[in-house]
Structure 1
Amino acid sequence: MVFGSLQRGAHDPTHRRIGDGCLRASLTPQGPVLIKINPAAGGVHARAWGEGADWALEQLPALLGEADDPTGFRPRHPVLVEAARRYPQLRIGRTELAFEALAPSIIEQKVTGLEAYGAFRRLVTRYGEPAPGPAQDPASAAYGMRVPPTPRAWATIPSWQFLQLGLESNRSRTLVSAARRAAAIDRLVTRPAADADRGLRSLPGVGPWTSAEVRQRSHGDPDAWSIGDYHVGKDICWALTAEVLDDAAAEELLEPYRGHRFRVQTLLGLMGLHRPRRAPRMTLPTHTPYATRGRS
């Protein structure tokens, strides 16, 4: 469950599924790391490579949700009662890496997932470094994985290169501006989620949706529901009322679960409860070279 929220599309070069386990490439405060996580009897088995290996292994319990406390969550709606029964093991993990979560969240602003995932993949492949350990072994399942670009690398990508790889000027400016403040952004993981929200939203181009997407991952914030998302609010309303309503209605429905609104969103997602897609799908824009070539 943790892995699914971190992977940015099926071809994310920083994450890869291997059977029941996963591989994750990351840039920790101690340096790059590749960590392999597999379920084991009564827990998990993990192995890590790279300068950030010790940090990643020490941080692993938090990543897996050890600090998450669902005891205050009291499902009332029958759908949520059933979801909580089916997924009693759900825990919301935290990466403790705020800028790592912010960069792809900016890339995902106001575009389709297909476009965003493609742009992220191309940018990481071009500007990220090869992940350590088995990621450099052609015989390994991890071969070809990449560590996300450093903040310095993000900040020095030319605007024309962003555009060529699928990111138009508004989002690329926001990303470069954030990269220049990466150290301060990463310090937000030591602050309560409400303070982190204010800090993130003080950044140019970062609003409630982007802040929530970051805090879900960096802080494991169980209340940071994806307000402003094209689908999430409508899907929550559909799951709980069988009507397609807006974010204001979703907020009202979620209010009894304040403190656990992202937990509700996650449980409904695990149940596969999405509104019927009768309306026309969002189309890929044609303002980037990759979009006009039909690439993703």
Structure 2
Amino acid sequence: MTDPQQADFAPGRRVPLRAIIGSLRRGAGDPTWIEGPDGIWRGSITPHGPVSLGLRVERAVSGDRVVATAHGPGAPWALERLPRLLGADDTIDDFVAHHDVVAEALAAQRDWRLGRTDLVIDALVPAIIEQRVTGRQAFSAYRTLVRRYGAIAPGPAGQRGLRTPPSAAQWLRVPSWEWLRAGVDAQRADTVMRALRVAARLEECVDLPAQEASRRLRTVPGIGVWTAAEVAQRAFGDPDAVSFGDYHVAKNIGYALTGQPVDDAGLAQLLEPYAGHRYRVQYLVHAAGLSRPRRGPRLSLPTHLPARF
């Protein structure tokens, strides 16, 4: 076992760690994520190999300090990008709240920043699995596949159950029947396979302008606006990558800002004043719990959901 490597991040403000990286967790049972007294640990596959990255926050009057500990071949790569992961590249200097509820949500989340992993496949495979199904179904499928085809994460966290997801090459070796056994239909599995065959080209998206990165992702059949946005939010830290096509997003934002749910066309119009920060509004609405009232049983069947890809 190699010695752990460490780095820290102290931006001079509070760092709401769970809020910043929480979207990387795919459900409560995600094997690539564990939490404990020593903080949050996440397993991932970097361009240099697997890594276990542990993050804990030390509070101080002058601002928080995040201490990162990493194990595995990917440790130097992950630690070098620690500030980006925690939102150092994100700025809210030009963000203007055009609605009172957005201003209030921003005040409550004033220290939140949008981070980026710089890992496309890491975000893309679970996003494809989440197309057209409920979160519970998608998280169960991803959990099953990672436990079966992922690997024990490097370092002590691996002995506590942390796993890394399969690499692109390992995902490609998952048989078609195993996708079906996990609850992933052939259409989504085929989309994953098409994306993995051009994984190197897709990973290059981290160095492209946002619109070009989204366009390249969507050249893969089966990857549409919703999936590209889900990747952009996590891998690129794109504050404008709103999740058009989601079953809840347009309705909830419309209700929060106008008192009435809207469709995607209405959402696009409603968010025009926030161009460049449309996903930031989506996050703030969600973080503030500003969802529309529910008037019926929770959806449980994928046939009730639109094709969001």
Q: TM-score band (shorter)?
A: over 0.9
Q: For 1:135 and 1:90, how far apart are their aligned partners in 2?
A: 27
Match of 1:192 in 2: 209
Question: SS of 1:277's equivalent?
Answer: coil
Structure 1 Cα separation of the partners of residues 97 and 31 of structure 2: 37
Aligned residue number for residue 290 of structure 1: none
Structure 1 residue 136: Cα displacement: 3.4
The match for 1:126 is 148
CA deviations on 1:238-257 (whole Å, 9 max, x unpaired) are 11111122111111111100
> 2:41 aligned with 1:23, yes or no?
yes
Matched, 1:109 2:131: yes
Structure 2 distance, partners of 1:243, 1:285, is: 25
1:170 has 2:187 as partner: yes
State whether structure 2 residue 99 is matched by structure 1 residue 82.
Answer: no
Cα shift at 1:5: 1.0
* TM-score of the two chains, using structure 1 as the length reference: 0.92
Normalised by the length of structure 2, the TM-score is 0.88
Structure 1 moving runs of 4+ over 6 Å: none
Aligned equivalents of 1:17, 1:243: Cα separation in 2 = 38
Is residue 156–residue 176 contact of structure 1 (8 Å, CA) maintained in 2? no
- Deviation of 1:283 (Å): 2.1
Pick the aligned partner of 2:226 from 186, 206, 209.
209
Out of 106, 114, 120, the position equivalent to 1:92 is 114
Please tell me whether the aligned partners of residues 155 and 177 of structure 1 are also in contact (alpha carbons under 8 angstroms).
no
Instruction: Tell me if 1:69 matches 2:87.
Output: no
Indicate the residue corresponding to 1:243 in structure 2: 260
Bigger mean CA offset, 269-278 vs 207-216: 269-278
Over the matched positions of the two proteins, sequence identity in percent amounts to 51
Q: Which range is displaced more, 114-123 or 271-280? A: 271-280
CA RMSD of aligned residues (A): 1.3
Alpha-carbon shift at residue 206 of structure 1 (Å): 0.2
> Does structure 2 retain, via aligned residues, the 8 Å contact 1:115–1:284?
no
Q: Distance in 2 between matches of 1:216 and 1:274?
A: 20
Query: Who is 2:51 aligned against?
Result: 33
Show structure 1 runs of 5+ residues with no match. Answer: 138-142, 287-296
Q: Which amino acid aligns with 1:61?
A: P
Among 149, 156, 165, the alignment partner of 2:173 is 156
For 1:232 and 1:18, the matched residues in 2 are separated by 31
The amino acid across from 1:212 in the alignment is: A
Structure-2 change in CA distance of 1:19 and 1:241 (3 Å): farther
